[in-house]
Amino acid sequence: MIDVERLREGLTAVRARIDEACTVSGRAPGSAQLVLAGKYVDAAEAPALVEAGVEVIGENRLQDLVAKQDALGDAVVFDFIGHLQGRKVRDVLPRVRLIHSVDRDSLIDEIGRRAKAPTRVLLQVNLAGEETKGGFAPAALDAALERASQAGVVVGGLMALPPFTSDPEASRPWFERLRELRDGLALRWGPDHDLRDLSMGTSQDFAVAVEAGATMVRVGRGIVDSTRMEQP
């Protein structure tokens, strides 16, 4: 089970690193938000997250989202950060603040059909053209925003998973590329789409991501695993 005090200490340490990275990038502390990746926590452990001070939980699967939201109610905000099947859009939409992982045209269309009001999402970008990852190619983003406009979907920014590396600095060019893409889209598509958010960075490279412009980082294992270590 999760040690609440150790989790609280881990959250404090990560938030301090995020704020430090904000300062390095010339932004105010608090400019980037921690989204705790919920896949490392069982629903039975979810109350410990609230007790420790978690504010936003990102879920990868509908069944986990439902289980944790049923356990916690409105004590925290939920985002969806994993691959989303079209048939599950109807169930996910009313449960989340934001979908980070809109990765294809058909998903934009389905969100537009199922949403009861204009819905804000992030577009997932496949920066390196990796066959094992979903997402829009950079050259397809303008067409995706046009499609979103027609569907009544508001694009609030971009999300990416750069190629895996054990060196955080190796991810920096990818993060900077995503920021550049976002900035260009914002010039062309505001005010139809606000494009203010960049969801990028995970446990191993979140500080670099914030320095490069992330407004949301998805951190889970780097915080949660340490709470389950045996006490010295």
Task: Kindly report, residue by residue over 116-131, the tens digit of the pLDDT.
Answer: 888 999 999 999 999 9
Position 44 scores a pLDDT of: 94
pLDDT in tens, 153-175: 999 999 999 999 999 999 999 99
| pLDDT of 8 strictly over 80 | yes
User: What pLDDT shows up at residue 227?
Assistant: 82
In which band, very low, low, confident or very high, does the pLDDT at 86 lie, cut at 50, 70 and 90? very high
pLDDT (average), residues 177-196: 97
Average pLDDT, the chain: 95
| pLDDT beyond 90 at 62 | yes
Q: Is the peptide bond before 191 cis (omega within 30 degrees of 0)?
A: yes
The whole-number pLDDT of residue 117 equals 87
- Nearest partner of 48 among 10, 98, 80, judged by Cα: 10
Query: What per-residue confidence (pLDDT) applies to 142?
Result: 98
pLDDT of res. 231: 43
Looking at residue 228, its pLDDT comes to 64
Long-range CB contact pairs, 160-167, < 8 A, 24+? 160/124, 160/125, 160/126, 160/127, 160/135, 160/199, 160/200, 161/124, 161/133, 161/135, 161/200, 161/202, 162/127, 162/128, 162/200, 163/128, 163/130, 166/204
How much of the chain exceeds pLDDT 90, in percent? Answer: 93
Q: Kindly state the DSSP code that residue 87 receives in the 8-state scheme.
A: G
Rg of the chain on CA atoms, in Å: 17
Residue extents of the structural domains in the chain = 4-227
- Asked if residue 103 has pLDDT above 50, the reply is yes
The answer, yes or no, to whether residue 230 has pLDDT greater than 80, is no
pLDDT band at 221 (very low <50, low <70, confident <90, very high): confident
Q: Which helix or strand (DSSP H or E) is residue 24 part of?
A: helix 4-24
CATH of the domain spanning 4-227? 3.20.20.10
Q: What is the mean pLDDT of residues 52-63?
A: 98
Q: What is the DSSP secondary structure assignment for residue 176, as one 8-state letter?
A: H
